[in-house]
Each structure stands twice: as structure tokens, then as C-alpha cells.
Amino acid sequence: MRTEKPIGRGASAGGLFVGPMVGLAAVGYGLGSLLGAAVALGIVGLFAGLLAGFALVYARFKDL
């Protein structure tokens, strides 16, 4: 039975947190560019990515 936690858990959690923020902000910006509201939808995508990042990190690292 292994009691130590892997060393890279923090980096992995950070990637799971930042990745959706960047991705959804880019998607929001792209859709906003088509609709004429690039910055507004980019910011909405950023906050949607923030929520998605929290959900991913919580689901993956509940035991922290």
C-alpha cells in the first residue's frame, strides 16, 4: 500500500485548472469575433473556463 502522494500532483492540478480557462476564453473570443462582441464573449468564456477548471480539479483530486 502506497501512502505517499506523487510529486507532480500540483503541476497536474494547475494544468487542469488553467487549460479550460485558456481554451474556453479562446472559444468565446472566436465566437465573439463572428458576432461582433469578441472581448465580452472572451471574458464570459474565461469565467466559464474558471468554473470548468474548478470542477475538473475537484473531480480529479478530491483526496487532497
H/E segment holding residue 51: helix 38-60
Task: Give domain status of residue 48, yes or no.
Answer: yes
Angstrom distance (rounded) from CA 2 to CA 62: 17
Could you tell me the pTM of the whole model?
A: 0.81
- Identify the pLDDT of residue 1: 59
Give the structural domain span for 51: 20-60
Task: Give domain status of residue 8, yes or no.
Answer: no
CA angle 62, 6, 22 (to 5 degrees): 65
Which cell numbers hold the place of 59? 473531480
Task: Give domain status of residue 13, yes or no.
Answer: no
Task: Give domain status of residue 11, yes or no.
Answer: no
Task: Give domain status of residue 12, yes or no.
Answer: no
* One-letter identity of residue 62: K
- Identify the pLDDT of residue 6: 73
- Identify the pLDDT of residue 12: 85
- Identify the pLDDT of residue 64: 63
DSSP-derived letter for residue 37 is -
Task: Give domain status of residue 40, yes or no.
Answer: yes
Task: Give domain status of residue 6, yes or no.
Answer: no
Question: Tens digit of pLDDT per residue, the chain (64 long)?
Answer: 566 767 778 888 888 889 999 999 999 999 999 999 999 999 999 999 999 999 999 998 887 6
